């Protein structure tokens, strides 16, 4: 009975892992990259200088700029610069042409020191990986649904994997390299078991983040089908006052930061929104930087009257259920993490990616053994092989192609940001084609070697196309820029090592295969 | 976080050495029953102390997150080092246990 149950779980683990493995590999890898979203964006928009300045000074600059350029707007949104995102981002919304519609948004990035417009090259930056890892470049809401389904399957695969694994404690420290299929399984178990807390947290929290989408029944039942009413009650600060129609003088915004700080013992404002600036009914909402604690503070805000400066309202501390949801949200995003912890998040993400990758390799390896003698693979195994190659090594090449496109596409090109994304998908598509045309191992080696070469050359490319090469960024202490170059170099070396290993392993197995091959030929002849 | 990392790594190494197979792989012979028990107890104790160190340093919220992070990282590091450089893995554990009191005093 017990063995039967375990076998059933093994079956479940095998097949859920295979069907969703390719997609999950991409979700995990891009999600892992998204931990360095701001740093990737900084590398991809090197024109925006990295400087740290006081929030007050930047806010004064922002207010001056908006008063000059967007006095008539219905709303200003100001994102203050922080250590990871050095630009001062301003957005403003025009009053909608017709009531009930959304007004048009304009976005500008300022240099927080001089207050002048910075023209960063058009790019999605690290946001591309972040968006892709839960939207999958599909129209809303299909990508979100697919990634949420993938998360559920991941959860099933994790639980069934734990049940299938017979000797979690006995094999806890076991990794036996250079033993072929055995080593892959050891590796799969090691990254699975040792980093299990992360896997469970990241998978479960992704379901919590999309819970109103996955399980809307309780909301729809309690609010009589009107989900909007639920969110209005949950986030009251999103209700905006209407303009009075009479002009009013907006107070200086910078001193409000200090007053907001008085409300939050150890927090500070991360962004501001000004409703109806220049109107008698203006209000200023300071939203707390949600990245300060492990528990993400959803929309914790203080509101001031924009003309008199009177404190209008503060949102109360989070109720327990929201704090729990906030904890999962915060844990998943890791916004609170400092540099060291962020790297640990990154390593855990890579371990998750490796777990999925090794799982896919094991599935194929086990079944390939049966056909090793004949040397001919049935169609379905060949399909899995092609998808394995394209989804793993092909994705690596696509990621690095995205970075190359950022440096090589002309700065003034129309639709530039889109073409960066397109080059990612074009290269990924080509990797499928390449995997179809070449024999399995050759395709692996060539794609890994290509990715390795491109990654290793990223620092050189950066030095040739921008003035922010390693010699400059290291001296200036621009760690995001230097770290990106060095991480690319490191990834390139690792992929190069993987390609070399793959080729050597191929040589070791191709010798007996050459001896075996004449046998079926003779049989065919007779 | 460094102190927690040192203690975790030492703790996992002790737990690893409390198992016959790994003890034989690294040190060339099977451990005595007494040694096995000491290693096992010491390993769990070190992991416990590392949790305490992490929580003391940054409070429960961040402390727990950091503890889990170093827990996973130290185990991963040990398992990857063991088959390739068993001696290095062992000396790192000794070093980290020696360094941990210094680290505790300095922080």
- Complex ipTM value: 0.94
Share of chain A above pLDDT 90, in %: 41
Same domain? For A135 and A200 the reply is yes
Suggest the residue from A200, A294, A326 to mutate for an interface test with chain B (most B CBs closer than 10 A). Answer: A294
* Contacting residues of A for B65, CB less than 8 Å apart: 294, 331, 341
pLDDT at position A511, please? 47
Nearest residue on chain A to B84, judged by CA atoms?
A177
> Quick one: average pLDDT of A166-174?
86
Residue A229, domain member (yes or no): no
**Half-sphere exposure (Cβ direction) of A503: Cα atoms closer than 13 Å:** 12
A63-77, A304-318, B35-49, B53-67: range with lowest mean pLDDT: A304-318
Burial code of A338-349, b = ≥16 C-beta within 10 A, e = fewer? eeebbbbbbbbb
* Nearest in space to A200 (alpha carbons), one of A141, A255, A154: A154
Interface size A-B, in CB pairs within 8 Å, comes to 60
Q: Give the CA distances from residue A129 to residues A25, A137, A480, B8, in Å, rounded to whole numbers and listed in that order.
A: 13, 10, 17, 33
Write the residue in A190, A294, A344 that is nearest to B62 by C-beta.
A294
Q: Please tell me if residue B61 touches chain A, with a CB cutoff of 8 Å.
A: yes
Mutate: best of A194, A295, A330, A345, partner B, most B CBs <10 A: A194
Contacts of A194 in chain B (CB under 8 A): 72, 75-76, 79
Pseudo-torsion of CA A63, A68, A72, A74, nearest 10°? -30
Residue A176 phi, psi (nearest 5): -115, 100
- Same domain? A412 vs A510: yes
The whole-number average pLDDT for the span B23-43 is 91
Cα–Cα dist A431/A437, whole Å: 10
Q: Specify whether A301 is located in the same domain as A394.
A: no
d(CA A35, CA A349): 9
Span of A276-290, B27-41, B66-80 with lowest mean pLDDT:
A276-290
Q: Is the pLDDT of residue A29 over 80?
A: yes
Owning domain of residue A165: 1-47+124-206+357-370
A175: contact with B, CB 8 A cutoff:
yes
Note whether A497 and A397 are same-domain residues: yes
What is the C-alpha separation between A443 and A426, in angstroms, rounded? 17
Measured between beta carbons, the chain B residues lying within 8 angstroms of A294 are 61-62, 65
Residues of B in contact with A501 (CB under 8 A): none
The kind and range of the H/E element at A72 are: none
Tokens representing A8 are: 């059933």
* Interchain proximity B72–A341, CB inside 8 Å: no
Check if A321 contacts B (Cβ < 8 Å). Answer: no
* Same domain, yes or no: A161 and A143: yes
A380 and A289 in a common domain: no
Query: Are residues A379 and A366 part of one domain?
Result: no
Domain edge (last residue) among A370, A399, A429: A370
Based on the structure, what is the number of domains in chain A?
A: 3
Q: What is the mean pLDDT of residues A299-308?
A: 82
Q: Are A230 and A383 in contact (CB under 8 A)?
A: no
What HEC string does A465-493 produce? HCCCCHHHHHHHCCHHHHHHHHHHHHHHH
Let me know whether A104 and A152 are in one domain: no
Nearest to A407 by CA among A462, A472, A467: A462
Q: Which residues of chain A make contact with B85, given a CB cutoff of 8 A?
A: none
3-class SS string, A197-250: HHHHHHHHHHHHHCHHHHCCHHHHHHCCCCHHHHHHHHCHHHCCCCCCCCECCC
Cβ distance A345 to B66 less than 8 Å, yes or no, reads no
Calculate what percentage of chain B has a pLDDT beyond 90. 75
CA A296 to chain centre: 17
Closest CA to A26 of A431, A321, A509: A431
| Same domain membership, residue A385 and residue A366 | no
Mean pLDDT throughout A282-297? 79
pLDDT at A237: 55
Identify whether the C-beta of residue B69 lies closer than 8 Å to the C-beta of residue B23. no
The per-residue pLDDT for range B53-91, each reduced to its tens digit, is 999 988 888 999 999 999 999 999 999 999 999 999 999
Burial category of A190 from C-beta neighbours within 10 Å (exposed 0-12, middle 13-18, buried 19 and up): buried
Q: Does the residue A326 lie in any domain?
A: yes
Residues 6+ apart with CB under 8 A from B59: none
Which candidate from A173, A295, A340 shows the least CB-CB separation from B16?
A: A173
Instruction: Write the burial class of residue A21 (CB in 10 Å: 0-12 exposed, 13-18 middle, 19+ buried).
Output: buried
pLDDT of residue A521: 36
Q: What is the maximum alpha-carbon separation in chain B?
A: 43
Task: Mark yes or no for CB contact A340/B1 under 8 Å.
Answer: yes
pTM: 0.89
Asked if A299 and A285 touch (Cβ cutoff 8 Å), the reply is no
Query: Are A187 and A165 in a shared domain?
Result: yes
**pLDDT given for residue A53 in this prediction:** 67
């Amino acid at each position: 009975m017990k063995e039967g149950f375990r076998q059933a779980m093994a079956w479940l683990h095998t097949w859920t892992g295979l069907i969703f493995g390719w997609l999950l590999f991409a979700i995990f890898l891009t999600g892992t990259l998204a931990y360095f979203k701001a740093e990737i964006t900084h590398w991809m928009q090197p024109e925006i200088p990295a400087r740290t300045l006081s929030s007050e000074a930047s806010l004064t600059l922002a207010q001056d700029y908006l008063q000059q350029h967007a006095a008539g707007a219905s709303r200003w949104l100001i994102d203050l610069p922080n250590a990871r995102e050095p630009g001062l981002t301003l957005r403003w919304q025009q009053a909608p042409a017709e009531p009930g519609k959304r007004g048009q948004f304009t976005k500008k990035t300022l240099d927080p020191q001089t207050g002048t417009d910075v023209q960063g090259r058009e790019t999605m930056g690290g946001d591309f990986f972040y968006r892709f890892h839960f939207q999958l470049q599909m129209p809303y809401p299909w990508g979100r649904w697919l990634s949420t389904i993938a998360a559920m399957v991941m959860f099933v695969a994790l639980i069934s994997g734990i049940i299938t694994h017979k000797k979690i404690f006995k094999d806890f420290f076991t990794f036996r390299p250079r033993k072929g299929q055995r080593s892959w399984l050891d590796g799969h178990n090691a990254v699975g078991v040792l980093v299990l807390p992360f896997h469970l947290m990241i998978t479960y929290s992704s379901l919590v983040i999309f819970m109103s989408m996955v399980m809307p029944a309780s909301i729809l039942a309690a609010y009589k089908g009107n989900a909007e009413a639920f969110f209005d009650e949950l986030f009251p600060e999103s209700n905006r006052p209407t303009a009075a129609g009479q002009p009013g003088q907006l107070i200086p915004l910078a001193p409000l930061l200090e007053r907001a700080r008085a409300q939050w013992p150890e927090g500070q404002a991360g962004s501001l929104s000004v409703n109806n600036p220049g109107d008698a009914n203006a209000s200023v909402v300071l939203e707390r930087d949600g990245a300060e604690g492990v528990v993400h503070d959803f929309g914790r805000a203080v509101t001031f009257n924009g003309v008199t400066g009177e404190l209008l309202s503060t949102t109360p501390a989070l109720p327990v259920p929201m704090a729990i949801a906030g904890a999962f949200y915060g844990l998943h995003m890791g916004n609170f993490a400092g540099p060291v912890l962020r790297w640990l998040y990154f390593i855990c993400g890579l371990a998750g990616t490796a777990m999925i990758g090794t799982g896919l390799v094991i599935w194929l390896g086990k079944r390939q053994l049966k056909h090793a003698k004949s040397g001919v693979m049935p169609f379905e195994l060949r399909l899995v092989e092609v998808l394995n190659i394209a989804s793993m090594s092909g994705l690596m090449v696509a990621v690095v192609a995205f970075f190359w496109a950022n440096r090589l596409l002309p700065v003034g090109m129309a639709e530039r940001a889109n073409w960066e994304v397109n080059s990612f998908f074009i290269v990924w598509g080509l990797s499928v084609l390449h995997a179809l045309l070449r024999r399995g191992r050759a395709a692996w080696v060539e794609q890994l070697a290509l990715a390795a070469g491109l990654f290793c050359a990223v620092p050189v490319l950066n030095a040739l196309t921008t003035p922010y090469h390693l010699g400059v960024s290291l001296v200036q202490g621009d760690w995001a820029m230097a770290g990106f170059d060095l991480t690319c170099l490191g990834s390139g070396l690792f992929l190069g090592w993987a390609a070399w290993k793959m080729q050597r392993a191929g040589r070791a197995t191709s010798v007996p295969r050459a001896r075996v091959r004449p046998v079926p030929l003779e049989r065919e002849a007779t | 976080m460094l102190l927690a990392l040192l203690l975790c790594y030492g703790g996992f190494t002790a737990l690893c050495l409390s198992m016959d197979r790994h003890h034989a792989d690294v040190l060339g012979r099977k451990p005595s029953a007494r040694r096995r028990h000491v290693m096992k107890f010491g390993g769990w104790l070190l992991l416990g102390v590392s949790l305490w160190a992490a929580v003391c340093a940054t409070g429960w919220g961040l402390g727990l997150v950091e503890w889990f992070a170093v827990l996973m990282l130290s185990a991963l590091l040990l398992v990857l080092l063991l088959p390739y450089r068993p001696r290095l893995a062992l000396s790192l554990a000794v070093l980290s246990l020696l360094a941990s009191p210094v680290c505790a005093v300095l922080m």
